[in-house]
Amino acid sequence: MSEVSKMPVGDDLLAEINRLRKERNAVILAHYYQRPEIQDLADYVGDSLQLSQMAAETDADVIAFCGVKFMADTAKILSPEKIVVLPDMDAGCSLEDSCPPDKFAAFREAHPDHIALTYINCSTEVKALSDVIVTSSSAETILQQIPADQKIIFGPDRHLGGYLSRKFDREMLLWPGVCIVHEAFSETELLKLKEEHPDAPIAAHPECPPTIVDHADYVGSTSGILKFAKEFPGDTLIVATEPHIIHQMEKALPEKTFIGAPGADGNCNCNICPYMALNTLEKLYIALRDLEPRIEIEEELRLKAKKSLDAMLDMASGTVGKGDLGAR
């Protein structure tokens, strides 16, 4: 029988995923940018930091990571004794791709008096070359703990780095990477949308360029944007980040309206992360069934990368909460 003909469908597929989850003692972790049907069956849904914390603390034998590869790599770095599967190994990230380890190593060597404060959206090799990792929810807290006279390289996201640099009046050498998803929002279309909804605040992720962030009433991580959605007093919010997060907002706040910020063509489809979208329920089922595709990291490299991640977990501790319990 072919792979396709053996594939359960509909409720049978959900039942099989649930059966395998129990049989394997697996935890399903999902990022807010995952498809709604994956968010709905995950054990935890969260931002990059929350999911790293979950991965470090879980007592499951298997982590099925529904996110992108650098996130699943992070789970393996922090929990090497566990089997970590990623439903689609091609789920990469444009920020990771923008920062080849050999070029980053050369950049560091050219600036020996700088420390490397590095966004978690990078390869394990780049983490191993870094001093402290940050996520968008922990970056501000961590930056404020670094002495004012310490010179800093920030990579690979020049928009997050630029936002931090402006907000804290802190000069940093920025690596020139961007997120293709957040880069695709259009200022012209956003301002047109704002004219149609003058009372709606704008919440933006700091991976957006300044042309978007400068119009935002709130700038923060996915979990921060979700918190803002729950707390702002109005009834309509414009959301400038990957639109699958709107699923959590609509579930938690059915009485409010959430509008995805537009791309240049006037709709927000170009802002769906093509990498996150590679994961499907069918691929998750296969990953739990076969325990493949599996993340493997060479031990010496893992230990080097773990140092910068441990520094993040220490410096960020107590500042952020856990992920949301999935709606299972």
Shortest distance, CB of residue 131 to ligand 13P, whole angstroms? 19
| Distance separating alpha carbons of residues 302 and 290, to the nearest angstrom | 24
Q: Does the protein bind ligand 13P through residue 222 (CB under 6 A)?
A: yes
Give, as ranges, the residues between 188 and 247 that touch ligand SF4 (CB under 6 A).
207, 242
User: In the chain, how long is the greatest CA-to-CA distance?
Assistant: 65
Site string for ligand 13P, 163-202 (x = CB under 6 A): ----------------x-----------------------
- Strand ordering across the sheet containing 132-134: 132-134, 114-119, 151-155, 173-174
Helices (H), the chain: 3-6, 10-23, 36-41, 48-57, 69-78, 94-97, 101-110, 124-128, 139-143, 158-167, 187-196, 210-213, 222-231, 246-252, 281-290, 299-316
Could you count the other beta carbons within 10 Å of the beta carbon of residue 7?
15
The entry of ligand 13P, ligand SF4, none near residue 180 (CB within 5 to 8 angstroms by kind) is ligand SF4
Residues tagged in the binding site annotation for iminosuccinate: 31, 48, 119-121, 136, 205-207, 222
Cβ-based nearer residue to ligand 13P, 108 or 244 = 244
- Strand ordering across the sheet containing 26-31: 83-85, 62-66, 26-31, 44-46, 324-325
Shortest distance, CB of residue 241 to ligand 13P, whole angstroms? 7
Q: Does the protein bind ligand SF4 through residue 30 (CB under 6 A)?
A: no
Binding site residues, ligand SF4, CB under 6 A: 33, 68, 93-95, 121, 179-181, 207, 242, 273, 275-276
Contact set with ligand 13P (CB under 6 A): 47-48, 121, 135-137, 179, 207, 221-222
